[in-house]
Each structure stands twice: as structure tokens, then as C-alpha cells.
């Protein structure tokens, strides 16, 4: 049964260590034999690095590229891929009326300037505050601030791709991506929006970003293992990854009217956050699973982070409430992309449904072989907080 | 009585409002000083301003100890504003029961934290100052409070725990429009029928030396440091930038039906929201003002009212050469000749630019203008910009019956969000 305000996915953009574009990433996953890793640059930490990217393919002006730090470039590029995939890129009217919610916590600092200040203070200064001011005023690149500001990823997407219907930036690790998809989809379902660009991006290859996890002792220091099997690995379990995922969401009516290809339909997103601890977490996940309709799905695409206690809780939940549903921990393949975790999982579920193929197991015995599913549950349990769930279903009707 | 608006959607009642600014904590203090034309801008004494081009700000110095840092202040401001709003609404302040929409500044480690980590890293055997040593300190020691302070979801999480809000809080940033966006998201959630009540808050306690340097490098800040309270002069000929400031504003909103059913006092109606992004430049507006114009028109359309129905404009009015010129262009385009006779004033002349919080604080003041029949002035208006022909309520508050206010918020990154706030329907 279909409704004109069903939320359908009509565009997918993915950039990751496995490649560029939805199809390239799908192909890489189908024949997944192990992740692309860099364990040297930030040793003892391992990251899933970005591949070589010709930025000018989606960000034509070099001047625009220079105005962005890496995460903004990744995001702006990936947004372009999604718009192109949806057949919206360059369509002035469709972009001008398109809503946008970007999940973006924040940018990157200038490592050289920070190191200069740390050195100066370590050498001994009369007044630390004065010394910091002196270096900052003389050394900071004037436009760096804009390349760091959370909402300037969306700002750059407006400038480069002309998406201007609305521009909202949500912040807060995985929760930002969950809320972004939840809000964009709810607005479409309620008739508040006809089409929206939603997604996130992350640059793992920056010491300040690693520091953000490691202050909570969350990073793996023993390299990679499948996300379900990181308890024995030294450190906190997370291997982060550079990349981004953007989706074009539309009302069914809007997509069909313009003859768009429809990947799948997206159900309501259940989201919550609350007390830590296994019992509290399980209670929330059970309630959300009922709300989202997880039980009826043929597969679960999970963005489990590998962080020990939270992923253990997730495994307990899956074993107790989804024992017969094969699960895929896609972060094993891509690394943890913080804000982009939930949009990425939704994107991969959509690709699986549109290809009529199950995602293969990604190196863990926790992931059972599976037949092609007709609906997939998407699950994100944030590494520190926030949980989200949704069900995507095979497209019906025109455009499928 | 109808509980639905011109488009058949639930009417949104405002039942609680809270505010903190450099003028004080709470609506009463703020309103008394705002309508007296007092400025909260002062010389910065929180940190050394040597080498800085701007040495003044509207910091809030009475909430948390200096050493607690920005993240703690940002939370404390939000907590104070939300509690004031919820208490006014009569709803539970520990089991609010509706979603939270939070506009908060981006977070990062503060310098005192970096220096502490570098020192700890040296203790742990790290040779050179730098990120390797910070990472060594991170993995060798216990810095969980540092970790919490740099998670972007932390302020929302703490507010959720304190207030008992429902679901996953939404933390957002649309730069200087953030506070208005938080309100807009709340309005939309009630209209979708997802919630009977919401709390929307904008908070910002992020005046640091580095933040000042960053805005200075973009030439955004006033450097008229000599007389701090006179530096913010929106719509004046000699305006030269905004003055950074701190604060928080919060609104409790409910469906009118739900508010009436529980016998709540209706403070006003949040009638409409409009937005439009600008694709011209990262810090400058499209020269024809079309995105801001579209945002104003979208807000009026959303509210189902015409330009004739607006009695007062609460300006974005930052005191930058660019904003005030563009805001005038946009408004005079939408309102035409009528604009000359619509009073418009900028709270920022007194409280400075509270950035992430501004849209929410100014929504609270817009509501209060309607409720008290008083328009706060634009102070420091000694030297009007002859190119800006507006009735800016210069220097002194004015008594005026106002039924409906337009509140503007525009920000870096092409953000434009406008709100229409009205009196309770008779």
C-alpha cells in the first residue's frame, strides 16, 4: 500500500576508504575481503583513510575547495554525488526548493598553530593568555574559522550545489545523523517538505579528531577487527574512518512526478537517548524496535561502533530480540564516521534492496549468511550516547 | 474557538519564556534594563585581551566561575533560561515530557584543557609538545570531564537529564540564526502532531580569546573599545561591527488546544516561521537581498498574514556595515513605503550579538514587547546612517500597542530565518 507522502530515497552519495560513489562502494562491499587501513600515520591508532579524490569533479572552483577544510570538502563532494545520483544536480528549480539537513559536529584545527602555542608555553612564558593571543592573532589563517564552523558544510553545499530551500545543521556525534534523517523524513511525511538532502561527513585523518574519542578511551590501539569482535583488541574498540554519506529523500508523489528512480521507502525513524547501562539501553532499544517495526525485517544493517560496552549492549539486544535476523556491522568496512554513521547505514540498506541482494557477512561469525531481504532494519547505537532505528523497504509502484 | 490556523494546522501557543543576557538573569531584570536603554557591554576581564583588536564584549560573568570554562557556562545559561520558561508554563521542570530543540555553539577543547593535557603528556613521558603528547595524555590518564565537554551532544544530554525531556534531543547550529531555528523545529514538531509541547532554547557562552580572534580576522567585530557600552550601534553611520556576547533564551510552546485544556496562561502565539538559504558567499549576502527577502515573505506566508499586519520588527541589527544595510534593503523591498512607519529596533545595541542564542533571546523580547506594550530602543543612535531610513526607536523605549512582531535572524553560511509572533487571539 502506498501513499503520496511516503518517504522514498532517490539519491545516494557515498565517499569512503572503499571508493567513491554508491555503486563503487556497493561493489566493494559485495566482494569485501578486508578493509582499507592506515595504521602508520597516527600510530598506535588505525584509520580508514580517504582514497585519492579529484575534488574538482563535484566542486568545480578551486577557490571553493580552498575555502573548506577536509570534512567540508568530503561533505560537499558527497552531497554532489547524491544530487547527481538523484538527477537533481544542476536543476536550478529543484535545488532552490530543496530542503537540507546536514549532520556536522565541527571542523579541524590548524595543527601547526596549536603546536606553536604548545611549544611556546612549554618553553616558559610570563603570561600564558598573552602568549596564546599573540600567536593566534599573527598565525591563524583569516578564513580558517569558516572552514571550521559546523554550519559551513551546509553553507558550502548551498554555494557549490545551489541547494537553498532551507539549510539546517544538526550537531552531536551519531545523534546528529539520526535526528537529521528523522526530521527530514518526518517533514516530508507530514507534507512540510517535498524533497530534502540529508547526510554527514567526517575526516578521521586529523589528530584533533582522534583526541575527541581518545579522551574517553574509545580508540582501538591494536588495529582492526570486525566490530563485533573488538573486546580482545587493545584499547577502546573504535577505528574511525574518513568519508561521508548523503541521501536525497523525496515524497513518493514528488519523485514519481519527475520520473525519478526510487531505491526504497524509508519508514519513520525512532530515536532516543538516556541512562547508560545495559538494562536501560535494552529497554530503550526494545521500545524503539517496536516503534520502527524491526521484527518484520529480513536483515539488520547496524552501524555498531565497536566501542566495548555500547556494542556489547547492542549484541545483547540483537541476540535477544532479533536472533533470527542476519545482521551486518558495516562500520567494519568503513570505519566509524561519527556524524555520518546513521545516514551511511540507511544508504547501504537502500543499495541492498535496490540491487535485490543481501550484503555479505563482513568478516565476523556474528553475521549469518542471508537471502535477499525485502525490508531492512537500520540500527545505530552511538558509541557514547544516542540510538536510532528505521526500516527501509523495497520500493513499490512507479520508479521502483 | 478554533485551535487550528489558516492552513488547518495546530495553533502554537507560547506558555513560557526565559532569558539570560549580560543585562541579568530572568525576564524581569532584562526587560527593566532593556527598556531603560542600558547596555550590558563591558570591558573583558575574563581573560587577557593583550594583542586583541577587540577588548569588549557582553559576557555573562555572574553564572559560573571563570575556570569552569565555556562548556559549563553554555550549559548553565541554557539551564537557567529553560527553567524560567518551564516554571512560567506551569509544567514539570524535572519531567517536562516533550522534545528538546537546542541551539548551541560548536564545542572544542579550550586552551586551558590543551595545556593541561600537554603537561600531563609530558609527565607520561611525551618528549615534544604537540598532538602526539596530547594523545599520549589522553590514553594514559583520566580526562572524562574533558571528553564530556567536547562531545557536541553533551549540553543536550545534560538538559535532557535535568528537565526530563522526551526522545533524542536535537542540537543544532545555523550560526547566528540558530535560536530561531530551534524555535522553528519546535513549531514544526507540534504541527506534525509529534508533540503537544516542546522546549526550544538557544544558548551561547563561548566568548573566548580565540573566538574573538576568529571573528576579528573576518573583520566582523567592532573595534570601538574606548566606551564599551557605545560600541554596538546598529543602523548608525559609524557602526563598524558587532559586539560578541553571551546569553540564552528559551520558549515553551504547546498546541493551543493542549495549553487551553490544562488551563495554561497563553503568553502569545508563534504564528509563522520562514527560511531561505543564500548561495552567494560564506559571509556576505546576495547583493539583491533575495534570500533574506524570501525568508521574510516565507514567515509572513506561513503565519498567513500580510505586511499590513506587522506592527513592529525585532531586527537582526548586528551593527555590522553589511548586515544593517542588507536588512534595510530586504525589509524595504518586502514592506515598501510602509517600512518607514513600522518601528524596528535592535536589542543587540544593548546586549550585543549573542550569536547562537540571539534568535531565541530576541523571540523572548519580541513576545515581551507585545505583552507589555513597550518597544525597547536601539541605543547609541546618535549618528543615523542616511542610507537607512528606518524608525529604529532611537535611544528611548516607546509605548506602543503591538499585536504582531516580525523577528529576523541572519547568519554566516547563508542562514536566514524569520519568526512571526503574535498576541493571544481574543
Give pLDDT tens digits for A353-385.
999 999 999 999 999 999 999 999 999 999 999
Write out residues 62-101 of A within 8 Å (CB-CB) of B: 67, 100
Q: What does the pLDDT average to over B25-45?
A: 98
CA distance A219 to A211: 9
Task: Identify the residue whose cell numbers are 520588527.
Answer: B313
Report ipTM (2 d.p.). 0.98
A222 interface with B at CB cutoff 8 Å: no
A102 interface with B at CB cutoff 8 Å: no
Q: What does the pLDDT average to over B329-339?
A: 97
Select from B174, B194, B278 the Cβ nearest to the Cβ of A168. B174
Position B6 pLDDT exceeds 90: yes
**pTM of this structure:** 0.98
User: Annotated catalytic sites of B, by residue?
Assistant: 176, 316, 353
Q: What does the pLDDT average to over B222-246?
A: 98
CA distance B403 to B387: 29
Select from B143, B210, B279 the Cβ nearest to the Cβ of A164. B279
Select from B104, B167, B283 the Cβ nearest to the Cβ of A272. B167
Write out residues 174-233 of B within 8 Å (CB-CB) of A: 174-175, 181, 185, 188, 191-194, 209-210, 213-218
Q: Report the DSSP beta bridge partners of residue B417.
A: B275, B409
Q: CB-based contacts of B257: which residues, under 8 Å, 6+ apart?
A: B3, B10, B11
B chain contacts of residue A170, beta-carbon cutoff 8 Å: 170-172
> Exposure of A275 by Cβ count < 10 A (0-12 exposed, 13-18 middle, 19+ buried)?
exposed
Residue % of chain B over a pLDDT of 90 = 99
Q: What is the mean pLDDT of chain A?
A: 97
Interface test with B, best of A166, A177, A202, A388 (most B CBs within 10 A): A166
Q: What's residue A396's pLDDT? A: 80
Q: What's residue A332's pLDDT? A: 98
Position A398 pLDDT exceeds 80: no
Interface test with A, best of B173, B191, B283 (most A CBs within 10 A): B173
CA distance A273 to B21: 30
Position B1 pLDDT exceeds 80: no
- Asked if A106 and B415 come within 8 Å (Cβ–Cβ), the reply is no
Cα–Cα nearest to B321, from B329, B313, B309: B329
Q: CB-based contacts of A305: which residues, under 8 Å, 6+ apart?
A: A174, A218, A227, A237, A238, A311, A331, A336, A341, A381, A382, A383
B114 interface with A at CB cutoff 8 Å: yes
Position B426 pLDDT exceeds 70: no
Position A399 pLDDT exceeds 80: no
Report which of residues A398 and A277 the model is more confident about: A277
Please report the number of interchain residue pairs, chain A to chain B, with beta-carbon separation below 8 angstroms. Answer: 247
A chain contacts of residue B155, beta-carbon cutoff 8 Å: none
Interface test with A, best of B413, B417, B418 (most A CBs within 10 A): B413
Q: What's residue B370's pLDDT? A: 98
- Asked if A149 and B175 come within 8 Å (Cβ–Cβ), the reply is yes
- Asked if A168 and B118 come within 8 Å (Cβ–Cβ), the reply is no
A142 interface with B at CB cutoff 8 Å: yes
Cα A194 to chain center, whole Å?
Answer: 22
Q: What's residue A258's pLDDT? A: 98
**To which H or E segment does residue B100 belong?**
strand B100-103
Cα–Cα nearest to A104, from A22, A30, A172: A172
Q: How far is CA B49 from CA A15, B110, B216, B218, B260, in A?
A: 43, 16, 13, 18, 51
Q: Report the DSSP beta bridge partners of residue B411.
A: B415
Position A77 pLDDT exceeds 80: yes
Which residue from A minimizes the CA distance to B137? Answer: A215
Domain boundaries, chain B: 12-107+151-422, 112-148
Length of chain A: 400
**pLDDT tens per residue, range B113-157:** 999 999 999 999 999 999 999 999 999 999 999 999 999 999 999
What is the distance in angstroms between the Cα of A356 and the nearest Cα belonging to chain B?
33
CA distance A309 to A237: 9
**pLDDT tens per residue, range A50-73:** 999 999 999 999 999 999 999 999
Task: Identify the residue whose cell numbers are 547505537.
Answer: A381
What is the distance in angstroms between the Cα of B240 and the nearest Cα belonging to chain A?
18
- Asked if A118 and B108 come within 8 Å (Cβ–Cβ), the reply is no
Residue % of chain B over a pLDDT of 70 = 100
Position A316 pLDDT exceeds 70: yes
- What nine digits make up the cell of A171? 550537531
**pLDDT tens per residue, range B251-309:** 999 999 999 999 999 999 999 999 999 999 999 999 999 999 999 999 999 999 999 99
Q: What's residue A397's pLDDT? A: 74
Position B425 pLDDT exceeds 90: no
The CATH architecture that domain A7-107+149-394 belongs to is 3-Layer(aba) Sandwich (3.40)
**pLDDT tens per residue, range A152-206:** 999 999 999 999 999 999 999 999 999 999 999 999 999 999 999 999 999 999 9
CATH number for the region B12-107+151-422 comes to: 3.40.47.10
B100 interface with A at CB cutoff 8 Å: no
Count of CB atoms situated within 10 Å of the CB of B279: 20
Amino acid at each position: 500500500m502506498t501513499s503520496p507522502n511516503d518517504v522514498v530515497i532517490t539519491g545516494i552519495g557515498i565517499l569512503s576508504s572503499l571508493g567513491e560513489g554508491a555503486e563503487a562502494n556497493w561493489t566493494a562491499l559485495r566482494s569485501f575481503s578486508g578493509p582499507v587501513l592506515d595504521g602508520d600515520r597516527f600510530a598506535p591508532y588505525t584509520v580508514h583513510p580517504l582514497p585519492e579524490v579529484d575534488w574538482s569533479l563535484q566542486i568545480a572552483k578551486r577557490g571553493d575547495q580552498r575555502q573548506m577544510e577536509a570534512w567540508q570538502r568530503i561533505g560537499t563532494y558527497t552531497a554532489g554525488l547524491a544530487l547527481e545520483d538523484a538527477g537533481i544536480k544542476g536543476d536550478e528549480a529543484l535545488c532552490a526548493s530543496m530542503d537540507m539537513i546536514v549532520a556536522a559536529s565541527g571542523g579541524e584545527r590548524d595543527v601547526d598553530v596549536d603546536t606553536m602555542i604548545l611549544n611556546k608555553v612549554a618553553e616558559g612564558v610570563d603570561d600564558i593568555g598573552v602568549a596564546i593571543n599573540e600567536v593566534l592573532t599573527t598565525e591563524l589563517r583569516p578564513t580558517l574559522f569558516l572552514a571550521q564552523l559546523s554550519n559551513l558544510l551546509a553553507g558550502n553545499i548551498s554555494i557549490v550545489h545551489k541547494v537553498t530551500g532551507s539549510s539546517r545543521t544538526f550537531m552531536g556525534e551519531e545523534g546528529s545523523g539520526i535526528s537529521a534523517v528523522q526530521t527530514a523524513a518526518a517533514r516530508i511525511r507530514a507534507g512540510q517538505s517535498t524533497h530534502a538532502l540529508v547526510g554527514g561527513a567526517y575526516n578521521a585523518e586529523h589528530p584533533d579528531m582522534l583526541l575527541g574519542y581518545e579522551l574517553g578511551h574509545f580508540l582501538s590501539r591494536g588495529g582492526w577487527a570486525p566490530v563485533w569482535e573488538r573486546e580482545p583488541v587493545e584499547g577502546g574498540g573504535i577505528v574511525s574512518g574518513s568519508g561521508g554519506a548523503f541521501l536525497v529523500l523525496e515524497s513518493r508523489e514528488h519523485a514519481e512526478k519527475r520520473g525519478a528512480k526510487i531505491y526504497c521507502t524509508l519508514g519513520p525513524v525512532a530515536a532516543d537517548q538516556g541512562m547508560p547501562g545495559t538494562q536501560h539501553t535494552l529497554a530503550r532499544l526494545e521500545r524503539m524496535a517496536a516503534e520502527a517495526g524491526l521484527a518484520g525485517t529480513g536483515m539488520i544493517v547496524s552501524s555498531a561502533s565497536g566501542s566495548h560496552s555500547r556494542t556489547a549492549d547492542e549484541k545483547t539486544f540483537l541476540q535477544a530480540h532479533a536472533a533470527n535476523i542476519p545482521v551486518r556491522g558495516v562500520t567494519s568496512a568503513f570505519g566509524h564516521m561519527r556524524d555520518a554513521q546513521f545516514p551511511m547505514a540507511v544508504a547501504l540498506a537502500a543499495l541492498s534492496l535496490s540491487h535485490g541482494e543481501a550484503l555479505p557477512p563482513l568478516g565476523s561469525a556474528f553475521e549469518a549468511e542471508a537471502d535477499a531481504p525485502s525490508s531492512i532494519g537500520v540500527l545505530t547505537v552511538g558509541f557514547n550516547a544516542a540510538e536510532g532505528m528505521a526500516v527501509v523497504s523495497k520500493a513499490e509502484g512507479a520508479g521502483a | 474557538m478554533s485551535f487550528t490556523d489558516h492552513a488547518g494546522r495546530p495553533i502554537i501557543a507560547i506558555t513560557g519564556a526565559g532569558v539570560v543576557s549580560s543585562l541579568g538573569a530572568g525576564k524581569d531584570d532584562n526587560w527593566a534594563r532593556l527598556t531603560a536603554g542600558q547596555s550590558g557591554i563591558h570591558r573583558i576581564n575574563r581573560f587577557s585581551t593583550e594583542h586583541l583588536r577587540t577588548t569588549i564584549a557582553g559576557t555573562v560573568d555572574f553564572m559560573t566561575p571563570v575556570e569552569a570554562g565555556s562548556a559549563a557556562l553554555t550549559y548553565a545559561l541554557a539551564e537557567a533560561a529553560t527553567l524560567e520558561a518551564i516554571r512560567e508554563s506551569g509544567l514539570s521542570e524535572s519531567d517536562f515530557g516533550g522534545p528538546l530543540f537546542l541551539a548551541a555553539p560548536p564545542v572544542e577543547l579550550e586552551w586551558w584543557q590543551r595545556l593541561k593535557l600537554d603537561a600531563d603528556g609530558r609527565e607520561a613521558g611525551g618528549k615534544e609538545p604537540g598532538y602526539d603528547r596530547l594523545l599520549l595524555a589522553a590514553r594514559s590518564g583520566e580526562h572524562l570531564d574533558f571528553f564530556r565537554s567536547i562531545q557536541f551532544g553533551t549540553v543536550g544530554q545534560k538538559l535532557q537529564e535535568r528537565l526530563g525531556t522526551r526522545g533524542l534531543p536535537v542540537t543544532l547550529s545555523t550560526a547566528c540564526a540558530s535560536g530561531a531555528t530551534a524555535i522553528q523545529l519546535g513549531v514544526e514538531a507540534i504541527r506534525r502532531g509529534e508533540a503537544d509541547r516542546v522546549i526550544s532554547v538557544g544558548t551561547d557562552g563561548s566568548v573566548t580569546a580565540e573566538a574573538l580572534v576568529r571573528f576579528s580576522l573576518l573583520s566582523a567585530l567592532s573595534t570601538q573599545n574606548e566606551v564599551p557600552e557605545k560600541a554596538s550601534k546598529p543602523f548608525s553611520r559609524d557602526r563598524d561591527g558587532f559586539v560578541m556576547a553571551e546569553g540564552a533564551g528559551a520558549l515553551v510552546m504547546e498546541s493551543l488546544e493542549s495549553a487551553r485544556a490544562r488551563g495554561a496562561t497563553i503568553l502569545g502565539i508563534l504564528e509563522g516561521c520562514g527560511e531561505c538559504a543564500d548561495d552567494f558567499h560564506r559571509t556576505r549576502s546576495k547583493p539583491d537581498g533575495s534570500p533574506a527577502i524570501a525568508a521574510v515573505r516565507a514567515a509572513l506566508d506561513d503565519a498567513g498574514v500580510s505586511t499590513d499586519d506587522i506592527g513592529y520588527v525585532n531586527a537582526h541589527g548586528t551593527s555590522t556595515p553589511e548586515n544593517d544595510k542588507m536588512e534595510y534593503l530586504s525589509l524595504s523591498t518586502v514592506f515598501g513605503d510602509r517600512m518607514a512607519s513600522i518601528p524596528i529596533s535592535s536589542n543587540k545595541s544593548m546586549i550585543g550579538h549573542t550569536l547562537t542564542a540571539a534568535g531565541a533571546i530576541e523571540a523572548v523580547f519580541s513576545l515581551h514587547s507585545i505583552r507589555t506594550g513597550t518597544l525597547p530602543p536601539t541605543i547609541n543612535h546618535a549618528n543615523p546612517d542616511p542610507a537607512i531610513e528606518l524608525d529604529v526607536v532611537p535611544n528611548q523605549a516607546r509605548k506602543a500597542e503591538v499585536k504582531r512582531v516580525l523577528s529576523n535572524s541572519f547568519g554566516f553560511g547563508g542562514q536566514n530565518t524569520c519568526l512571526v509572533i503574535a498576541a493571544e487571539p481574543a
